[in-house]
A and B are shown apart, each in its own frame.
Chain A
């Protein structure tokens, strides 16, 4: 009897779970948003997230609802989270750009070298899983070409198969490396959004340290180190300072 208890409990609980069916919640939230009831939409989307589900569209919609409420820091956070799952979604990029215009601090990012920029653009073509699937497809094709090369009766065909296999091997490697990069961004994110209305960056962890600069809500920072309650952050313009961790929300 004891073995079946969890199942029994699950059966009892399941109607409760059904009441908060995530698809239904999403639909209700969409209606609330369309009616202009943004705070309700926010609550519903957050509920879906709290249930352990996510989707780029979900972060996008939640970001929009926050934006409409005038809460730009959480809006930026959710757009960024959506972009983690779908790196080059045009709607996410568009709305994130608008949300960034609403916040107080605007940094001139340090220009990157052209090949770094290109690599970033290529990297953000697909998400982790997009790259992973592409890599798998290339791997299958590569192996097929290899077989063809080894056992094709015709010499010309074997030449073709060789070049194809070479290219596919390269493509597979690129895809898997990109997938790995995206995966690291997703799981070991070191970027964060400032949630406090204003925060003073110190030169060292600790309240007694000299003040360096002040940043405001909604700024995206890179967390480079952590000591106790303090995090060392790097701003887009390469300023570095220590900020209390509680002010930050990891993307």
Chain B
């Protein structure tokens, strides 16, 4: 098992060798055996055969009554000495078996044999007594029987081990898990070194401490007092959910063990009793335990849009160094995210600048410390902001979301909003802006909520019964209107014709009535009848309603009917004279006669003239 003898351990040995005096002779080959004389059932112990020469072959006996746990493991060591020009070589081969006692009783192990240069070398036969049940609480080296057997060349598992302690066995994804590696020892360890670091597959890892001289404490486990050294502390962040395993850590320790007796070896005899060789530094590899973690995924429910990916604790602080600016003057907005957890993987918070403010990519400052309690610190994003237009701007509030693994919920921290007053005139003329130039995206328009008029499907007005009725109605109306107009016109023309025809007759009747009044001497009646006869005749004949009957309209009417202007004039003069006669002084009898004759004459003349021409409306 002695692999190498390190330089530091070799130095006193070398010195001792130099001091050797007296002749040395080559020793005969000796096969020695070492084993505890008494063990308990279930106890594991070491059976070592040691040969001080290189054998051609080695044959171990059968181990009746014991179970072979492991072995044989072969190890050899050699040393060469030159003393007084005499070269002597010491060579040792050891075969180690680890056996476990299975049942009680006395068991004899027959001798082992080794072949060497044709000689058969035999070891002694040994007897091992197995009694009692093995109690793991008992320190293996503190057994009463240990003094009988030579001390082992290797520290037991209970004397020296490394333990990996995990702060949380079921963390959330990305949650910080602290892994502490502690070296427990009951034997002096002169030094240690980490042989192999685990790969930490599935984790993002960060070493928090790895001291070369760790402070030690004492701890008692199962009645045994150990010296404990915290040799390494690592922060792990699981990158995925599910079962993840932390591989063991391998440490090589240089332990100081009481050196084993090598029977028959002069060299060993020489050393025994001196302070140098009562202990031997032996390098020993030990592994920590593997740890399994059950990683929980982050809940997808209620995950805020501002979630930055951090699991732990977070605070958001923002500071704007100037509130009043001139155009093209710079301001800086620093957003500090401080807390604990996977800070190095923190995204930047979304800061939206209003149009008119120009922003640049942030400068990121990190102040992250790997303390014993994990990773904590702050990450500062410093944005440079330059206003390009005057006016009042508002940088909307921004958010930083994280997952709080203790309360198992998402938390959002807010900062802002900030107002900036920008004065001055725009440095460069701002182009007339069309909102469509700055369209952020296109999306379908929203649904309509109002103005719905659901109608049965296929309900089309065109060519429906209602449509045809709507077409027919105006035509019917049109025909009706035309018929009505025609009817009215015909009616009116008929009326005029009738009046035209009876005009003379009516006038003659009125004249004869006037004649009667003349004979009776009723002058007023006479004049009334004469006037009615004349005006009535004209009204009927010329189709002029009585209300609009004037001398002018009569004149126009007569001309329209083709009556010669002379006749028209004389007719009107006759009408005037007849009307005038009513108020004229003088002899009534002659005058009345004259008036009557004039009226009759006018009507006859007009009748003759008008009836020559065809009737016209």
Binding site for B on A (CB under 8 A): 22-23, 26, 30, 33, 48-49, 52-55, 57-58, 60-61, 64-65, 67-68, 91, 94-95, 98-99, 128-129, 131-133, 136, 139-140, 143, 146-147, 150-151, 179-180, 182-183, 186-187
Chain B residue at minimum C-beta to C-beta distance from A129: B461
Chain A residues with CB under 8 Å of B445's CB are: 64, 91, 94-95
Cβ–Cβ contact B447 & A64, under 8 A = yes
Cβ–Cβ contact B471 & A139, under 8 A = yes
Chain B residue at minimum C-beta to C-beta distance from A62: B447
A189 to B446 Cα, complex, angstroms: 28
Check: B453 CB closer than 8 A to any chain A CB. Answer: yes
* Closest 6 pairs (CB-CB, A-B): A132-B462, A61-B447, A95-B444, A53-B454, A129-B461, A143-B478
Chain B residues with CB under 8 Å of A129's CB are: 460-462
Check: B224 CB closer than 8 A to any chain A CB. Answer: no
Q: A23-B452, A53-B454, A140-B474 are in contact. List 14 more A-B contacts (CB 8 A).
A: A53-B457, A60-B447, A95-B444, A95-B445, A129-B460, A132-B462, A136-B467, A136-B470, A139-B471, A139-B474, A143-B477, A180-B462, A182-B462, A187-B458
CB distance from B470 to the nearest CB of A (A): 5
Chain A residues with CB under 8 Å of B442's CB are: 98
A131 to B470 Cα, complex, angstroms: 14
Which of B446, B470, B474 contacts A143 (CB under 8 A)? B474
Cβ–Cβ contact B485 & A151, under 8 A = yes
CB distance from B463 to the nearest CB of A (A): 6
A61 to B447 Cα, complex, angstroms: 5
A-B contact pairs, 13 of them (CB 8 A): A22-B454, A54-B454, A54-B455, A54-B457, A67-B444, A91-B445, A98-B444, A128-B460, A136-B471, A136-B474, A146-B478, A183-B463, A187-B460
Chain A residue at minimum C-beta to C-beta distance from B459: A54
Chain B residues with CB under 8 Å of A49's CB are: 457
Chain A residues with CB under 8 Å of B455's CB are: 53-55
Chain A residues with CB under 8 Å of B364's CB are: none
Which of A131, A147, A150 contacts B462 (CB under 8 A)? A131
Chain A residues with CB under 8 Å of B467's CB are: 132, 136
Cβ–Cβ contact B460 & A183, under 8 A = yes
Which of A61, A67, A179 contacts B448 (CB under 8 A)? A61
CB distance from B490 to the nearest CB of A (A): 13
Cβ–Cβ contact A53 & B482, under 8 A = no
Where chain B touches its partner, the secondary structure class is loop
Chain A residues with CB under 8 Å of B470's CB are: 136
Cβ–Cβ contact A26 & B454, under 8 A = yes
Cβ–Cβ contact A55 & B452, under 8 A = yes
CB distance from B446 to the nearest CB of A (A): 8
Check: B449 CB closer than 8 A to any chain A CB. Answer: yes
CB distance from B362 to the nearest CB of A (A): 33
Check: B481 CB closer than 8 A to any chain A CB. Answer: yes
Cβ–Cβ contact B454 & A55, under 8 A = yes
A140 to B482 Cα, complex, angstroms: 15
Chain B residues with CB under 8 Å of A183's CB are: 460, 462-463
Chain A residues with CB under 8 Å of B471's CB are: 136, 139
Asked whether A53 and B456 contact (CB < 8 A) given A30-B449, A64-B447, the answer is yes
A23 to B453 Cα, complex, angstroms: 9
A46 to B471 Cα, complex, angstroms: 36
Asked whether A23 and B444 contact (CB < 8 A) given A30-B449, A183-B462, the answer is no
A140 to B451 Cα, complex, angstroms: 29
Cβ–Cβ contact B481 & A147, under 8 A = yes
B462-483 contacts to A (CB < 8 Å): 462-463, 467, 470-471, 474-475, 477-478, 481-482
A71 to B58 Cα, complex, angstroms: 81
Check: B59 CB closer than 8 A to any chain A CB. Answer: no
Check: B443 CB closer than 8 A to any chain A CB. Answer: yes
A151 to B478 Cα, complex, angstroms: 12
Chain B residues with CB under 8 Å of A91's CB are: 445, 448
Cβ–Cβ contact A133 & B461, under 8 A = yes
CB distance from B493 to the nearest CB of A (A): 14
A54 to B454 Cα, complex, angstroms: 5
A60 to B457 Cα, complex, angstroms: 15
Residue among B451, B453, B478 with the highest chain A CB neighbour number at 10 A: B478
Which of A58, A65, A98, A151 contacts B452 (CB under 8 A)? A58
Which of B448, B457, B474, B475 contacts A52 (CB under 8 A)? B457
Asked whether A147 and B478 contact (CB < 8 A) given A23-B452, A60-B448, the answer is yes
Chain A residues with CB under 8 Å of B452's CB are: 23, 26, 55, 57-58
Chain B residue at minimum C-beta to C-beta distance from A68: B444
A68 to B447 Cα, complex, angstroms: 11
Chain B residues with CB under 8 Å of A128's CB are: 460-462
Residue among B446, B460, B477 with the highest chain A CB neighbour number at 10 A: B460
Chain A residues with CB under 8 Å of B453's CB are: 55
A61 to B456 Cα, complex, angstroms: 17
Asked whether A30 and B462 contact (CB < 8 A) given A48-B454, A54-B457, A132-B467, the answer is no
Chain A residues with CB under 8 Å of B454's CB are: 22-23, 26, 48, 53-55, 58
Which of A55, A150, A182 contacts B482 (CB under 8 A)? A150
A128 to B449 Cα, complex, angstroms: 24
Chain B residues with CB under 8 Å of A58's CB are: 452, 454
Chain B residues with CB under 8 Å of A146's CB are: 478
Chain B residue at minimum C-beta to C-beta distance from A99: B444
A143 to B463 Cα, complex, angstroms: 20
A133 to B475 Cα, complex, angstroms: 16
A186 to B460 Cα, complex, angstroms: 9
Cβ–Cβ contact A52 & B463, under 8 A = no
Cβ–Cβ contact A57 & B461, under 8 A = no
Question: What mask results when residues 540 to 581 of chain B are scored 1 for a CB within 8 Å of chain A, else 0?
Answer: 000000000000000000000000000000000000000000
CB distance from A38 to the nearest CB of B (A): 10
Chain A residue at minimum C-beta to C-beta distance from B467: A132
CB distance from B474 to the nearest CB of A (A): 5
Asked whether A147 and B482 contact (CB < 8 A) given A53-B457, A98-B443, the answer is yes
A58 to B460 Cα, complex, angstroms: 16
A196 to B337 Cα, complex, angstroms: 51
Chain B residues with CB under 8 Å of A23's CB are: 452, 454
CB distance from A152 to the nearest CB of B (A): 11
A47 to B477 Cα, complex, angstroms: 45
Chain A residues with CB under 8 Å of B463's CB are: 132, 183
Chain A residue at minimum C-beta to C-beta distance from B462: A132
A151 to B482 Cα, complex, angstroms: 9
A52 to B458 Cα, complex, angstroms: 9
A187 to B451 Cα, complex, angstroms: 25
A67 to B442 Cα, complex, angstroms: 13
CB distance from B322 to the nearest CB of A (A): 41
Asked whether A33 and B482 contact (CB < 8 A) given A23-B452, A55-B453, A140-B474, the answer is no
Chain A residues with CB under 8 Å of B481's CB are: 147
Question: What mask results when residues 313 to 324 of chain B are scored 1 for a CB within 8 Å of chain A, else 0?
Answer: 000000000000
Question: What mask results when residues 29 to 46 of chain B are scored 1 for a CB within 8 Å of chain A, else 0?
Answer: 000000000000000000
Chain B residues with CB under 8 Å of A182's CB are: 462
A136 to B475 Cα, complex, angstroms: 11
CB distance from B464 to the nearest CB of A (A): 9
A171 to B597 Cα, complex, angstroms: 68
CB distance from A76 to the nearest CB of B (A): 12
Chain A residues with CB under 8 Å of B448's CB are: 57, 60-61, 91
CB distance from A173 to the nearest CB of B (A): 13
